[in-house]
Amino acid sequence: MTAATLTAPSVQQPRRVERLIAGQPTSDGAGVKLTRVLTQDLQRRLDPFLMLDAFGSDNPDDYIAGFPDHPHRGFETITYMIAGRMLHRDSAGHEGLLENGGVQWMTAGKGVIHSEIPQQEAGVMEGFQLWLNLPGRDKMNAPWYRDFKNAELPRFTTPEGVGVTVIAGESHGVAGAVTRETTAPVYLDLHFQTGATFAQALPATHNAFVYVYRGEVTVGGQRVPAQRMALLANEPGSDGVVITASADAKALLIAGRPLNEPIAQYGPFVMNTKEEIYQALNDFRDGRLGEESHRA
């Protein structure tokens, strides 16, 4: 889309940064090293988002074993691969190769067992995985899966020189690759040129954050360096966010409508009650979780 046809938002009362958060180094899968940016203690504050992992390394030992078969139930996973190649297979019969700049969106729903295995033995592997909660009424829906190649993702460049990839939601009149009515997620990858400013309209009630992965940006007068999450304040009357970069920078802007439902999590299962978690564990133990997915 050309700059002339973009619908630029008018943000009159931009959000400020409530606090900056540094992720926690950890490992997952078969020893993949990553940084957990959105941790479990932030789930209520950033509802409907449950987790954000950032991974990036040019050392194959950090990622080569990948994520062998493991289950999920009750939420969605959005994997954004900046660099590298990862093969997905699951018990619902889906298979796809996630490559540079691509997105994999998976709705686990009532249950799926899947694997994510690197298809490279050298080079850089870098990206993000975001967990998006499902409302209670949808947690037992059939699984869904979609791969988006880099060229399939909607993108535009603002007149100020910000390159925007719209993974979910809407920005400047451009609809994203995926929309969700209940949680209304916005997921933007922003590439700033020196001195550029970007504005995004956001409802005051939606929870939102900015994660900087290259350079640094400024939000509401607060400097946000690389590898930091800026949790944006929810203030009555705020109508969006304004982000400025004094030098080249890259950041994710993520926002969504909170579900305001109970969150019960045990590892890869996220439900509303402990009883539903016990059921998920029993279904997985007894071999019903993946079989249900395959029949869906």
pTM of the shown model: 0.95
Q: Evaluate the omega torsion of the peptide bond into residue 48 and state whether it is cis, within 30 degrees of 0.
A: yes
Which of these ranges, 81-95, 202-216, 269-283, has the smallest mean pLDDT?
81-95
CA 272 to chain centre: 21
pLDDT in tens, 35-52: 999 999 999 999 999 999
Residue 291 is predicted with a pLDDT of 61
Alpha helices in the chain (DSSP H): 274-285, 288-295
CA-to-CA dists, residue 64 to 33, 68, 212, angstroms: 10, 11, 25
Residue 4 is predicted with a pLDDT of 46
Q: pLDDT-derived band of residue 66, with 50, 70 and 90 as boundaries?
A: confident
pLDDT of 214 strictly over 60 = yes
Superfamily of domain 11-295 in the CATH hierarchy: Jelly Rolls (2.60.120.10)
Residue 295 is predicted with a pLDDT of 36
Handedness of CA 30, 36, 42, 47 (dihedral sign): negative
CB–CB of 199/8 below 8 Å?
A: yes
Residue 118 is predicted with a pLDDT of 87
289: three-class secondary structure by DSSP: helix
Contacts of 188 (CB under 8 A, 6+ apart): 164, 165, 166, 167, 169, 171, 200, 252, 253, 254
> How high is the mean pLDDT of the chain?
93
* Percent of the chain scoring above 90 in pLDDT: 80
The structural domains of the chain, with segments of one domain joined by +, span 11-295
pLDDT of 3 strictly over 60 = no
